[in-house]
Every structure is written in structure tokens, then in C-alpha cells.
Amino acid sequence: MHELGIVFHVIDAVKEVAAENDAKHVNSVTVEIGEVSLVIPSYFEDCWKWAVSKHEIMTDCQIKIDILPAVTYCEDCQKTYATVEFGKKCPHCGSDKTYLLTGNEFNIKEIEVV
């Protein structure tokens, strides 16, 4: 379960930002998880609940997850489409000359502190 390692990385980054801003407590963190990023939101959330209890500044810190849709671009017809629904093959022209535009990201979007 690589989500735990990602949670540790996020907590370290959030604690660093909190320290730089003299924050006393982190209330919530919002992350963006790409639809095809291989991070499973429910696993991430379970790991988060366990891990934040180990850090006083983050005790009871809520995690908010925004899912970023996966969008693929077709080089032949120059159109975009939903990756999860159609996969690698373009539904507009049938080409397989496609690449992922969005949906593989993982970002810390917002940190709410006291």
C-alpha cells in the first residue's frame, strides 16, 4: 500500500509549511488526486486518519480529496475525451495516437491552519 508513504510525504510537507507560518494547528488539508494516478482515495483517507494522530500539530486534521478527471488528447483528430471511459483508443476517430493530458496528478491544493 503505497498510499501510506504518500501520506507521510504530505504530512512532512504540511508540517514544514505550518512551521514556516507559525501555525499552531492544521485543521484540514485538501489534496487533488488524478483519476488514474494509482492513488486510491479510500486507502489514502484511511492512512491519513491513522497518521495524523501521530503528529500533535495535525491531531484530528481532516483530509479533503478532489478527484481530477483523466482526459486524453488525440494527435490525429486533435480532440480530447474521457480516458477512463474510452481508454487509449480515441472514440472520435479510432486512432491510438493519444496521450494523457490530465488525471495522473497528485497535488496539495490547500492547507487550513489556526
Q: What is the mean pLDDT of the chain?
A: 96
Strand order in the sheet with 62-68: 62-68, 26-34, 106-113
Instruction: Domain 3-69+103-113: state its class.
Output: alpha beta
The answer to whether 42 touches 76, Cβ cutoff 8 Å, is no
Give the pLDDT mean for 74-92. Answer: 97
Q: Give the contacts of 102 (CB within 8 A, at least 6 positions apart).
A: 34, 68, 69, 70, 71
* Domain extents in the chain: 3-69+103-113
* Cell, residue 47: 492512512
pLDDT at 1 (0 to 100): 57
The yes-or-no verdict on residue 56 having pLDDT over 90 is yes
Q: What is the pTM of this model?
A: 0.88
pLDDT class of 114 with cuts at 50, 70, 90: confident
